[in-house]
Amino acid sequence: MSELIRLEDLVKIYNTGSLRVLGLNKINLSINKGEFVSIMGHSGSGKSTLMNILGCLDTPTLGRYYLDGTDVAGMSPDELSRIRNKKIGFVFQSFNLISRMTILKNVEVPLTYARVRPSERRRRALELLELVGLSSRIDHQPNELSGGQRQRVAIARALANDPPLILADEPTGNLDSQTSIEIMELFARLHQNGATVVVVTHEENIAAYTDRIITFNDGRLISDRINIAPTALSDTAGALGGRMS
Protein backbone atom coordinates (compact mmCIF):
# COMPACT_ATOMS: atom_id res chain seq x y z
CA MET A 1 0.00 0.00 0.00
CA SER A 2 1.43 3.38 -0.89
CA GLU A 3 1.15 6.37 1.37
CA LEU A 4 -1.03 9.30 0.31
CA ILE A 5 -0.93 11.42 3.48
CA ARG A 6 1.84 11.76 6.02
CA LEU A 7 1.78 14.25 8.90
CA GLU A 8 4.86 14.71 11.09
CA ASP A 9 4.60 16.60 14.38
CA LEU A 10 1.99 18.84 12.83
CA VAL A 11 0.98 21.87 14.92
CA LYS A 12 -1.60 24.54 14.18
CA ILE A 13 -1.78 27.63 16.36
CA TYR A 14 -4.47 30.26 15.77
CA ASN A 15 -3.56 33.80 16.78
CA THR A 16 -6.57 35.99 17.33
CA GLY A 17 -5.58 39.25 18.97
CA SER A 18 -3.77 38.42 22.19
CA LEU A 19 -5.32 34.96 22.30
CA ARG A 20 -3.46 31.90 21.05
CA VAL A 21 -5.47 28.74 20.44
CA LEU A 22 -3.78 25.41 19.87
CA GLY A 23 -5.91 23.91 17.07
CA LEU A 24 -3.71 20.83 16.53
CA ASN A 25 -1.07 19.56 18.91
CA LYS A 26 1.77 17.50 17.35
CA ILE A 27 -0.18 15.22 15.06
CA ASN A 28 1.56 12.21 13.50
CA LEU A 29 -0.58 10.36 11.01
CA SER A 30 -0.26 8.27 7.88
CA ILE A 31 -3.07 7.37 5.47
CA ASN A 32 -2.55 5.04 2.53
CA LYS A 33 -4.09 5.23 -0.92
CA GLY A 34 -7.48 3.54 -0.99
CA GLU A 35 -8.27 3.90 2.72
CA PHE A 36 -11.74 4.87 4.00
CA VAL A 37 -11.22 6.80 7.24
CA SER A 38 -13.45 8.69 9.65
CA ILE A 39 -12.38 11.47 11.99
CA MET A 40 -14.40 11.79 15.19
CA GLY A 41 -14.28 14.06 18.23
CA HIS A 42 -16.26 16.66 20.16
CA SER A 43 -16.91 20.13 18.82
CA GLY A 44 -13.69 22.16 19.00
CA SER A 45 -11.41 19.10 19.04
CA GLY A 46 -9.57 20.10 15.84
CA LYS A 47 -11.37 18.07 13.15
CA SER A 48 -12.00 20.96 10.77
CA THR A 49 -8.54 22.36 11.42
CA LEU A 50 -7.12 19.01 10.33
CA MET A 51 -9.36 18.78 7.26
CA ASN A 52 -8.51 22.31 6.15
CA ILE A 53 -4.81 21.51 6.32
CA LEU A 54 -5.22 18.12 4.62
CA GLY A 55 -7.26 19.90 1.92
CA CYS A 56 -4.60 22.60 1.42
CA LEU A 57 -7.10 25.29 2.42
CA ASP A 58 -4.85 26.24 5.34
CA THR A 59 -1.22 25.67 6.33
CA PRO A 60 0.27 24.28 9.54
CA THR A 61 2.22 26.46 11.99
CA LEU A 62 4.85 23.76 12.53
CA GLY A 63 5.58 20.29 11.23
CA ARG A 64 5.44 18.56 7.88
CA TYR A 65 2.61 17.54 5.59
CA TYR A 66 3.51 15.22 2.73
CA LEU A 67 0.70 14.78 0.21
CA ASP A 68 1.39 12.09 -2.36
CA GLY A 69 5.11 12.42 -1.58
CA THR A 70 5.30 16.23 -1.85
CA ASP A 71 5.92 18.42 1.21
CA VAL A 72 3.12 20.98 1.00
CA ALA A 73 3.52 22.51 4.49
CA GLY A 74 5.52 25.51 3.33
CA MET A 75 3.89 26.18 -0.03
CA SER A 76 2.57 29.55 -1.16
CA PRO A 77 -1.18 30.11 -1.59
CA ASP A 78 -0.80 29.90 -5.40
CA GLU A 79 1.03 26.59 -5.24
CA LEU A 80 -1.53 25.28 -2.76
CA SER A 81 -4.47 26.15 -4.97
CA ARG A 82 -2.85 24.30 -7.87
CA ILE A 83 -2.32 21.22 -5.70
CA ARG A 84 -5.87 21.52 -4.37
CA ASN A 85 -7.43 21.56 -7.82
CA LYS A 86 -5.46 18.51 -8.93
CA LYS A 87 -5.34 16.35 -5.84
CA ILE A 88 -8.33 17.12 -3.63
CA GLY A 89 -12.09 16.88 -3.80
CA PHE A 90 -13.73 18.67 -0.88
CA VAL A 91 -17.29 18.09 0.36
CA PHE A 92 -18.70 20.50 2.96
CA GLN A 93 -21.52 20.28 5.48
CA SER A 94 -23.35 23.16 3.81
CA PHE A 95 -22.83 21.83 0.25
CA ASN A 96 -21.30 25.13 -0.99
CA LEU A 97 -22.90 24.96 -4.43
CA ILE A 98 -23.27 28.07 -6.58
CA SER A 99 -26.95 28.94 -6.31
CA ARG A 100 -27.57 30.63 -9.68
CA MET A 101 -26.02 27.87 -11.73
CA THR A 102 -27.50 24.59 -12.90
CA ILE A 103 -26.12 21.53 -11.21
CA LEU A 104 -24.45 20.55 -14.49
CA LYS A 105 -22.54 23.87 -14.47
CA ASN A 106 -21.73 23.44 -10.78
CA VAL A 107 -20.06 20.11 -11.50
CA GLU A 108 -18.18 21.71 -14.43
CA VAL A 109 -16.58 24.43 -12.25
CA PRO A 110 -13.43 22.49 -11.21
CA LEU A 111 -13.03 21.30 -14.80
CA THR A 112 -13.06 24.92 -15.96
CA TYR A 113 -10.28 25.74 -13.49
CA ALA A 114 -8.38 22.74 -14.82
CA ARG A 115 -8.80 24.18 -18.37
CA VAL A 116 -10.68 21.18 -19.70
CA ARG A 117 -12.35 22.07 -23.00
CA PRO A 118 -16.15 22.70 -22.94
CA SER A 119 -17.34 19.55 -24.75
CA GLU A 120 -15.19 17.35 -22.55
CA ARG A 121 -16.35 19.25 -19.43
CA ARG A 122 -19.95 18.59 -20.28
CA ARG A 123 -19.32 14.92 -21.02
CA ARG A 124 -17.50 14.43 -17.73
CA ALA A 125 -20.11 16.36 -15.67
CA LEU A 126 -22.94 14.30 -17.20
CA GLU A 127 -21.09 11.10 -16.39
CA LEU A 128 -20.59 12.19 -12.76
CA LEU A 129 -24.20 13.27 -12.32
CA GLU A 130 -25.25 9.88 -13.62
CA LEU A 131 -22.90 8.24 -11.13
CA VAL A 132 -24.64 10.03 -8.23
CA GLY A 133 -28.10 9.31 -9.62
CA LEU A 134 -29.04 12.83 -10.77
CA SER A 135 -29.09 12.52 -14.56
CA SER A 136 -32.71 13.65 -14.69
CA ARG A 137 -31.96 16.92 -12.83
CA ILE A 138 -29.04 18.38 -14.75
CA ASP A 139 -30.83 21.65 -15.59
CA HIS A 140 -32.10 22.25 -12.06
CA GLN A 141 -30.60 24.82 -9.73
CA PRO A 142 -29.46 23.75 -6.26
CA ASN A 143 -32.47 25.35 -4.50
CA GLU A 144 -34.78 23.07 -6.49
CA LEU A 145 -33.20 19.98 -4.96
CA SER A 146 -33.39 18.29 -1.55
CA GLY A 147 -30.45 18.43 0.86
CA GLY A 148 -29.40 14.89 0.00
CA GLN A 149 -29.51 15.66 -3.72
CA ARG A 150 -27.45 18.82 -3.20
CA GLN A 151 -24.85 16.85 -1.33
CA ARG A 152 -24.71 14.34 -4.18
CA VAL A 153 -24.07 17.23 -6.59
CA ALA A 154 -21.28 18.40 -4.28
CA ILE A 155 -19.80 14.89 -4.32
CA ALA A 156 -19.98 14.78 -8.13
CA ARG A 157 -18.18 18.15 -8.22
CA ALA A 158 -15.54 16.86 -5.79
CA LEU A 159 -14.88 13.95 -8.16
CA ALA A 160 -14.63 16.12 -11.30
CA ASN A 161 -10.86 16.15 -11.71
CA ASP A 162 -10.56 12.57 -10.48
CA PRO A 163 -8.56 13.63 -7.40
CA PRO A 164 -6.62 11.02 -5.42
CA LEU A 165 -8.10 12.34 -2.14
CA ILE A 166 -11.74 12.99 -1.19
CA LEU A 167 -12.25 14.99 2.02
CA ALA A 168 -15.68 15.51 3.58
CA ASP A 169 -16.16 17.68 6.69
CA GLU A 170 -19.43 16.59 8.37
CA PRO A 171 -21.09 15.90 4.99
CA THR A 172 -24.19 14.54 6.72
CA GLY A 173 -24.41 17.29 9.35
CA ASN A 174 -27.36 18.98 7.64
CA LEU A 175 -29.15 15.81 6.55
CA ASP A 176 -31.76 13.55 8.14
CA SER A 177 -30.68 10.07 9.18
CA GLN A 178 -31.99 8.17 6.12
CA THR A 179 -30.37 10.65 3.73
CA SER A 180 -27.16 10.51 5.77
CA ILE A 181 -27.04 6.76 5.23
CA GLU A 182 -27.49 7.23 1.46
CA ILE A 183 -24.60 9.69 1.37
CA MET A 184 -22.35 7.33 3.37
CA GLU A 185 -23.26 4.49 1.04
CA LEU A 186 -22.19 6.66 -1.87
CA PHE A 187 -18.81 7.34 -0.21
CA ALA A 188 -18.49 3.62 0.51
CA ARG A 189 -19.09 2.85 -3.19
CA LEU A 190 -16.43 5.38 -4.19
CA HIS A 191 -14.07 3.69 -1.75
CA GLN A 192 -14.89 0.28 -3.23
CA ASN A 193 -13.92 1.72 -6.60
CA GLY A 194 -10.52 2.70 -5.23
CA ALA A 195 -10.97 6.26 -3.93
CA THR A 196 -9.25 7.46 -0.74
CA VAL A 197 -11.96 9.02 1.44
CA VAL A 198 -11.63 10.86 4.77
CA VAL A 199 -14.93 11.82 6.45
CA VAL A 200 -15.48 13.90 9.58
CA THR A 201 -18.48 12.99 11.68
CA HIS A 202 -19.53 12.93 15.30
CA GLU A 203 -22.04 10.16 14.75
CA GLU A 204 -21.07 6.56 15.50
CA ASN A 205 -23.40 5.07 12.90
CA ILE A 206 -21.78 7.22 10.19
CA ALA A 207 -18.23 6.36 11.27
CA ALA A 208 -19.30 2.69 11.31
CA TYR A 209 -19.21 2.66 7.49
CA THR A 210 -15.48 3.37 7.42
CA ASP A 211 -12.57 0.96 7.86
CA ARG A 212 -10.58 3.11 10.29
CA ILE A 213 -11.77 5.50 12.99
CA ILE A 214 -9.49 8.24 14.31
CA THR A 215 -10.55 10.29 17.33
CA PHE A 216 -9.41 13.78 18.33
CA ASN A 217 -9.73 15.56 21.64
CA ASP A 218 -8.43 19.06 22.43
CA GLY A 219 -6.27 19.14 19.30
CA ARG A 220 -4.66 15.78 20.02
CA LEU A 221 -5.06 12.49 18.21
CA ILE A 222 -6.20 10.22 21.05
CA SER A 223 -7.27 7.04 19.28
CA ASP A 224 -6.71 5.37 15.90
CA ARG A 225 -8.43 2.04 15.42
CA ILE A 226 -9.43 -0.38 12.69
CA ASN A 227 -13.16 -1.01 12.29
CA ILE A 228 -13.17 -4.76 11.73
CA ALA A 229 -16.82 -4.92 10.67
CA PRO A 230 -17.81 -1.86 8.60
CA THR A 231 -21.54 -1.44 8.00
CA ALA A 232 -22.57 -3.47 4.97
CA LEU A 233 -24.04 -1.65 1.99
CA SER A 234 -27.72 -2.05 1.23
CA ASP A 235 -28.79 -3.53 -2.12
CA THR A 236 -30.23 -0.23 -3.32
CA ALA A 237 -26.88 1.52 -2.95
CA GLY A 238 -25.67 -0.38 -6.00
CA ALA A 239 -27.79 1.82 -8.23
CA LEU A 240 -25.88 4.91 -7.10
CA GLY A 241 -22.27 4.04 -7.57
CA GLY A 242 -22.26 0.70 -9.30
CA ARG A 243 -21.61 2.14 -12.73
CA MET A 244 -18.33 3.77 -11.84
CA SER A 245 -15.54 2.01 -13.63
Ligand X SMILES: Nc1ncnc2c1ncn2[C@@H]1O[C@H](COP(=O)(O)OP(=O)(O)O)[C@@H](O)[C@H]1O
Residues of the shown chain interacting with ligand X in the complex, contacts defined by CB under 6 A: 14, 16, 21, 23, 41, 43-49
Nearest distance from C-beta of residue 48 to Mg ion, angstroms: 3
Q: Return the axis-axis angle of helices 147-158 and 177-192, rounded to nearest 10°.
A: 20
Using alpha carbons, select from 119, 101, 121 the residue that is nearest to residue 111: 121
Give the nearest distance from C-beta 216 to ligand X in angstroms.
6
The residues pairing with 37 across neighbouring beta strands, listed in sequence order, are 198, 212
Cα–Cα–Cα angle for 104, 110, 113, rounded to 5 degrees:
125
Q: Which is nearer to Mg ion, 49 or 161 (CB)?
A: 49
The nearest distance, CB 218 to Mg ion, in angstroms, is 14
By a kind-dependent CB cut-off of 5 to 8 A, residue 46 interacts, out of ligand X, Mg ion, none, with ligand X
Q: Which amino acid, residue 128?
A: L
For the chain, where are the alpha helices, taking DSSP H only? Answer: 47-54, 77-87, 103-113, 118-131, 147-158, 177-192, 204-207, 238-241
Does residue 151 bind Mg ion (CB under 5 A)?
no
Residue 45 touches Mg ion, criterion: CB under 5 A: no
| Residue 51 C-beta: closest distance to ligand X, Å | 8
Does 48 participate in binding Mg ion (rule CB under 5 A)? yes
Which positions lie near Mg ion, rule CB under 5 A? 47-48
